[in-house]
Structure 1
Amino acid sequence: MVIGNTFLPGVFDAIQPALESLSWLHRIWVKFVDCSGTYICTPVKKQQSRFCGLVRSHPLGYRRCRETAVRCAHLDKGTYHLFPCHAGLFVLAVPLQGDAGSFGALATGEVITPSCSTTQVLEKLQDLGLNQELLRQFYQEIPVKSHEEIRMLGEALYALGNIGFRHFKPSTGDGLKDARQLARDAVEYIATNYHQPLTLEGVAQMVHISPSYFSHIFKEEQKQTFTSYLTEARINKAKDLLKGSDLSISVIAGTVGYEDANYFSRVFKKNVGMSPLAFKKRFNKSKC
């Protein structure tokens, strides 16, 4: 039985410190993924390699990386696994099994073993049309791990998976409720901080989940993306200010979170159908 894509916030609280510690100790990115390949929980202090970030920036590269993550959750239980990803790098993974069935995996970011070949890796990615010089440069930043280091990290992941999740019993009903609460928390945060330079990654960190999972549950609950919701909230506030104050367009732009007044005007016109100045004149004319 495979558990769905909803997880309790308590799981994040339990796994986050462990991921941070493992990432720091082994100098490698470690993630918790669900059975669909979604990144549920990732370290805050350790970022994914720039090489993988560049590959995932291409739609086809993203799909292949997602397929690798899915594979992590469907390997044989009872041990850790080292296997090549679609690019020829290596992933260390421990599939997770709770009382209710399989529900994901702990996995490292891609690593290089002493036998890896730069040429072979770049050849596997040629069809993506990415910048070869950047790929080569970012490849050099990926950690090289000896077989002994891989064994130690594999045993650590396996121990964490067995100890931390042995009695995990996800509930789709409770999980849905908690997902809604996380989305509500994000909405409340946006309502208070819309004037700040908010990003999806920053708000996801605020609610203690990975950006990809946050994006998923926010869209599920709000029926629109984080970016469109934030834009709508800012434009609505701008409308109120245009109606009820004599502030200049540039001041209003800064008040609702746009440093560039010209960009604000373009966004406003795209969403409202007229410029901020035209909106202000029409509203003031209607009051006369």
Structure 2
Amino acid sequence: MSAFWIILHYYGIMSAEYERKEIFLMSNPYQNITNYLHFLSRRYNVKINIKDFFGFIPINKELDEALRPFLAHTNPFCMYIKSETQSYHTCLRMIRKMYSKFENGDYEYFFGVCHAGLMEYVIPIRYEQDLLGSINAGFFQSDPETTQARIRSACLGSRLLQFETAYRLYEQYITAPDIAIEDLLPQLNLLAEYLSHTYGILCKTHPTSTNIFRYHNSNEDMILSHAVKYIQQNSSQRITVNELADFCHCSTSYLSRIFKKRTSVNINTYINKVRIELSKNHLMNSTNSIAEIAITTGFDDPNYYSRVFTKMIGISPTEFRRRFKTFT
């Protein structure tokens, strides 16, 4: 067994305690890579982001599912900056610039700064002659004056973005990693090797483009990541497809098509899945009634909640609580 498989398995076991709140991954063969990414993020305060230039992630549903939390930066500062349409598209253009930089030069990695002042190291993911994507790790910080100037520039001329709000979010949520880059880079290279090796296996059984030039639509990854994050953060509230599409800067038809393509379910079903997973924690760890749990997790009708739960989980909420409750 090669070294990176052994190390990823080790980190998968060591970081399993972090993943109790993650959903849909219990039977996923790529669970360890999800655990490893969360381990790096939480142990060293590193924000990890996977950019897909080639379309190698969606060729396998389980890999897509495992990497979904890492396809875009969804911290409150980034989400606020990208709430402005122009700023959102500036972020997308930067992905294309990353691709061009690696495509036009033989870089082992480079250090980049986004238009809103966030700094990260970018490591390529290559398979033979193909540039698959990149691993972005941040956020490293410069002097406060330079950071403020970039944030102010990003907010300039926008009717939605306010510098004071943006900078407050930056100070609250953006902190430097607790690891030196020379110690982090070997782990990121390990991750790049793993993803390259995984693609090498998958491409033998999954159809891929034979075009000489291929560039994946990164907007699709951004939309999916933002939509999933919005659903997770607002699952206890009423969520409409229209407001979700507005949040993701796209049409409702495009958003619905992406969800069906990448998750194999429609948006409302996905919302219900998130709510059901949250309700399982309540059933196991609280003494609240079934009706109270239904309302807390976003279901207006407790009877409808019970029907959806039974259909998705295979047993009723009452039976689930009886089997798995942690309280006496």
Q: Scaled by the length of structure 2, what TM-score is found? A: 0.47
- From the CA coordinates, give the structure whose radius of gyration is larger: 1
For residues 200-225 of structure 1, the C-alpha deviation after alignment (integer angstroms, 9 at most, x for no partner) is 449xxxxxxxxx9x977533379995
Select the residue among 49, 52, 66 that pairs with 1:31.
Answer: 49
Query: Post-superposition shift, 1:227?
Result: 3.9
Closer/same/farther in 2, CA of residues 171 and 164 from structure 1, 3 Å limit: closer
Query: Post-superposition shift, 1:89?
Result: 2.0
- The corresponding residue for 1:143 is 175
CA distance, structure 2, for counterparts of residue 36 and residue 145 of structure 1: 29
Give the total of aligned pairs: 196
Asked if the contact 2:122–2:135 (Cα under 8 Å) also holds between the matched residues in 1, the reply is yes
Asked if the contact 1:97–1:103 (Cα under 8 Å) also holds between the matched residues in 2, the reply is yes
Query: Post-superposition shift, 1:140?
Result: 0.7
Q: Scaled by the length of structure 1, what TM-score is found? A: 0.53
Query: Post-superposition shift, 1:120?
Result: 3.3
Asked if the contact 1:90–1:111 (Cα under 8 Å) also holds between the matched residues in 2, the reply is yes
CA distance, structure 1, for counterparts of residue 207 and residue 231 of structure 2: 21
Select the residue among 288, 300, 303 that pairs with 1:255.
Answer: 303
Query: Post-superposition shift, 1:156?
Result: 2.6
Query: Post-superposition shift, 1:95?
Result: 1.4
Matches within 5 A, 1:97-246: 97-99=126-128, 101-114=130-143, 116-128=146-158, 129-141=160-172, 142-144=174-176, 149-166=180-197, 168-169=199-200, 170-171=202-203, 174=206, 200-201=231-232, 217-220=258-261, 226-227=267-268
For residues 7-58 of structure 1, the C-alpha deviation after alignment (integer angstroms, 9 at most, x for no partner) is xx65x435212211211222022122211799952558xx842111111222
- Structure 2: give runs of 5+ residues left out of the alignment: 1-27, 59-63, 209-229, 234-247, 249-254, 273-298, 306-328
Amino acid at match of 2:137: T
Give me the identity figure in percent: 18
Query: Post-superposition shift, 1:93?
Result: 1.3
Closer/same/farther in 2, CA of residues 59 and 27 from structure 1, 3 Å limit: same
- The corresponding residue for 2:118 is 89
CA distance, structure 1, for counterparts of residue 197 and residue 81 of structure 2: 34
Asked if the contact 1:215–1:225 (Cα under 8 Å) also holds between the matched residues in 2, the reply is yes
CA distance, structure 2, for counterparts of residue 168 and residue 51 of structure 1: 32
Query: Post-superposition shift, 1:254?
Result: 4.4
- SS at the partner of 2:123? strand
CA distance, structure 2, for counterparts of residue 59 and residue 69 of structure 1: 16
Asked if the contact 1:118–1:139 (Cα under 8 Å) also holds between the matched residues in 2, the reply is no
Query: Post-superposition shift, 1:106?
Result: 1.1
Asked if the contact 2:110–2:123 (Cα under 8 Å) also holds between the matched residues in 1, the reply is yes
Select the residue among 6, 15, 19 that pairs with 2:37.
Answer: 19
Query: Post-superposition shift, 1:143?
Result: 1.3
Closer/same/farther in 2, CA of residues 64 and 173 from structure 1, 3 Å limit: farther
Query: Post-superposition shift, 1:110?
Result: 4.1
Asked if the contact 2:115–2:150 (Cα under 8 Å) also holds between the matched residues in 1, the reply is no
- The corresponding residue for 1:68 is 94
- SS at the partner of 1:104? strand
RMSD across aligned positions (CA): 4.3
Query: Post-superposition shift, 1:229?
Result: 8.0
Amino acid at match of 1:144: A
Asked if the contact 1:80–1:93 (Cα under 8 Å) also holds between the matched residues in 2, the reply is yes
The question of 1:51 aligning with 2:77 is answered yes
Query: Post-superposition shift, 1:109?
Result: 4.8
